[in-house]
Structure 1
Amino acid sequence: MTTATTIYQGALRTEATHTRSGQKIITDAPIDNNGKGEAFSPTDMVSAALSSCMMTLMGMLAVREEIDLTGLKADVVKIMASNPRKIAEIQVTFTHPNLVATDVQKEKLRRAALTCPVALSLAESVKQTINFNF
């Protein structure tokens, strides 16, 4: 089954539709690469996908461990390289100032995040700098 269908809209914009839900995602080329920057760029989406995937795996663990992760925040920074233009580094900083969890549970959350499928799928040349503030 098709996961998504993407259509080029012109002017460096795409619209991807998730097959099962019908949800849509618009992407634009970034301003520094001849785009309008009015939506996520494809490389922004990769960076956001990393943080979302990590949160999802932490969420799965949190359910098993009965930890409330509500309010967990991820700040994401994408650093691009040139020649060739590609993602050089993705920095993700997780913050949850009121997390109620033991030190052992916090370590389990860290390990879960670092083993998410997106993290494991990125090329080794993409540096992943992950910080946990909880």
Structure 2
Amino acid sequence: MPTIKSSYLGNLRTQSEHLQSGTQLLTDAPIDNNGKGEAFSPTDLVASALGSCMVTIMGIVADREGVSLNGLTWQVTKIMQASPRKIQEIVVDFEWDNPIDDSVFIQKLKNAARTCPVALSLDPAIKQTINFKF
């Protein structure tokens, strides 16, 4: 059974629907690749997926340990290679306002993040730079 149904809207824009939830999203080509940059580009979604997946798996670990990740934020930087045009590196910077003072638990979170399904699925040629500022 399909997970996502998508269509091309013209002008380098696509629309996708997550079939289980009905949630929709648009993509647009970036300005530096003939687009308008009015929505996530497909490569932006890949970079965003890495950070979101890492936090989802960290959240599973935290829930299991009875710890709240409230205050955890992250920023993702996508670095493109010019030729051939592809993602060269994804940098994820995590910050946590009030981290728990437990080095064993913090290491579990870091290990969970680095082994999330998206991190393990990305081509090894894409450098993953992960910074934990906690």
Alpha-carbon separation, structure 1, partners of 2:64 and 2:133:
21
- Asked whether the equivalents of residues 6 and 17 of structure 1 are also in contact (C-alpha less than 8 Å), the reply is yes
> What TM-score comes out, normalization by structure 1 length?
0.98
Q: How many residues align?
A: 134
Q: Superposition RMSD on alpha carbons, in Å?
A: 0.7
Alpha-carbon separation, structure 1, partners of 2:82 and 2:99:
39
Structure 2 gaps, min length 5: none
Q: Equivalent residue for 1:27? A: 27
Q: Equivalent residue for 1:117? A: 117
- Asked whether the equivalents of residues 89 and 127 of structure 1 are also in contact (C-alpha less than 8 Å), the reply is yes
Name the SS for the 1:16 alignment partner: strand
Q: Equivalent residue for 1:50? A: 50
C-alpha deviations, 1:2-43, integer Å up to 9, x for none? 100110000000000001000001000000000000000000
- Asked whether the equivalents of residues 26 and 40 of structure 1 are also in contact (C-alpha less than 8 Å), the reply is yes
The one-letter code sitting in structure 2 at the alignment partner of 1:37 is: G
Alpha-carbon separation, structure 1, partners of 2:113 and 2:120:
10
Alpha-carbon separation, structure 1, partners of 2:106 and 2:67:
10
C-alpha deviations, 1:29-60, integer Å up to 9, x for none? 00000000000000000000000000000000
Matched, 1:5 2:5: yes
State how 1:1-134 maps to structure 2 within 5 Å: 1-134=1-134
The one-letter code sitting in structure 2 at the alignment partner of 1:12 is: L
> What TM-score comes out, normalization by structure 2 length?
0.98
| Percent identity (aligned) | 57
1:71 positional shift: 2.2
1:85 positional shift: 0.2
Name the SS for the 1:109 alignment partner: helix
The one-letter code sitting in structure 2 at the alignment partner of 1:32 is: D
